[in-house]
């Protein structure tokens, strides 16, 4: 009986601690740094980031920094996730493509905001784990594919918006083709291991408009060895 009571108290303490840290993250790291969209702030307040990082990183889940998630990949700092999400102007009826599933955290945030999320991860181990974790958390509007993100996911195109969480040296043409008219893509672009530009790419009357939003540093955009 005492052991059961202890486990219950421990679980409550852990849950309460992470919830408090998540609220503080939204207030101090996001709202105070210029994230204004209420729906984005609410989604970031709701998604349990500590359940989408490795066990060794749980205590760091709500710190303002990227975290390692294995296989040489990282999860972006919360501010960058919020910034990129805000830039696509998420709406409840939207269909969004994410390139670079990673831990599944960005996909979970999007799932709180839009109708459908399609996410592609080239690292099989990460993609499988993210798919399992997202399902366990109840996100039924997220579809995960293991594959070369450069090619996007043409089967479900066109997309209202695209978020890319790794940095190619130029915007992949297949992603431009899969972006619908009036759509928005947010993508880091630049050389490997150097500072990159976070670009907002818009398709307007068939033309592509690119706007620089910030300087960032993302992991490189990985392609399949068999890719052309």
Q: For the chain, give every domain's residue range.
A: 65-216
195-to-16, 79, 179 alpha-carbon distances in Å: 37, 17, 26
The pLDDT of residue 206: 87
Contacts of residue 90, defined as CB under 8 A and 6 or more positions apart, other chains included, come to 37, 39, 40, 96, 110, 113, 114, 161
Per-residue pLDDT of the chain (228 residues; tens, 9 = 90+): 555 444 444 444 456 789 999 999 999 999 999 999 999 999 999 999 999 999 999 999 999 999 999 988 999 999 999 999 999 999 999 999 999 999 999 999 999 999 999 999 999 999 999 999 999 999 999 999 999 999 999 999 999 999 999 999 999 999 999 999 999 999 999 998 889 999 999 999 989 999 999 999 998 898 875 444
Active site residue 10: no
Query: One of 39, 56, 76, 224 is an active-site residue; which one?
Result: 76
SS3 84: helix
Burial group, residue 62, by CB count within 10 angstroms (0-12, 13-18, 19+): buried
Identify the pLDDT of residue 222: 83
The domain 65-216: what is its CATH number?
3.40.50.150
Nearest-angstrom CA–CA distance, 157 and 180? 8
Q: Distance between CA atoms of 147 and 152, rounded to whole angstroms?
A: 9
Q: Please tell me the distance from the alpha carbon of residue 33 to that of residue 23, in angstroms, as a whole number.
A: 15
Q: Strands (DSSP E) along 49-206, which ranges?
A: 67-70, 73-75, 95-99, 116-121, 142-146, 159-164, 179-189, 196-204
Neighbours of 205 (CB within 10 A): 7
Residue 166's nearest CA partner among 142, 143, 198, 130 is 198
């Amino acid at each position: 009986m005492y052991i059961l009571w202890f486990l219950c108290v421990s679980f409550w303490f852990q849950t309460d601690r992470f919830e408090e840290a998540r609220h503080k993250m939204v207030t101090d790291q996001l709202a105070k740094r210029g994230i204004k969209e209420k729906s984005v702030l609410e989604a970031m307040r709701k998604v349990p980031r500590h359940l989408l990082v490795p066990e060794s990183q749980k205590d760091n889940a709500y710190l303002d920094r990227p975290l390692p998630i294995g296989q040489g990949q990282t999860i972006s700092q919360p501010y960058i996730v919020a910034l990129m999400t805000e830039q696509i102007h998420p709406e409840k009826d939207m269909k969004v493509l994410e390139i670079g599933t990673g831990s599944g955290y960005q996909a979970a945030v999007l799932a709180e905001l839009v109708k459908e999320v399609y996410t592609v991860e080239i690292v099989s181990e990460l993609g499988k784990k993210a798919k399992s974790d997202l399902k366990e958390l109840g996100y039924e509007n997220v579809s995960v594919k293991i594959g070369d993100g450069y090619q996007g996911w043409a089967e479900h195109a066109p997309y209202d918006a695209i978020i890319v969480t790794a940095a190619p040296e130029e915007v992949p043409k297949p992603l431009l083709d899969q972006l619908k008219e009036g759509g928005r893509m947010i993508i880091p672009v630049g050389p490997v291991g150097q500072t990159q530009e976070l670009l907002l790419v818009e398709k307007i009357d068939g033309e592509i408009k690119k706007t620089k939003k910030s300087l960032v540093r993302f992991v490189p955009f990985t392609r399949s060895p068999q890719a052309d």
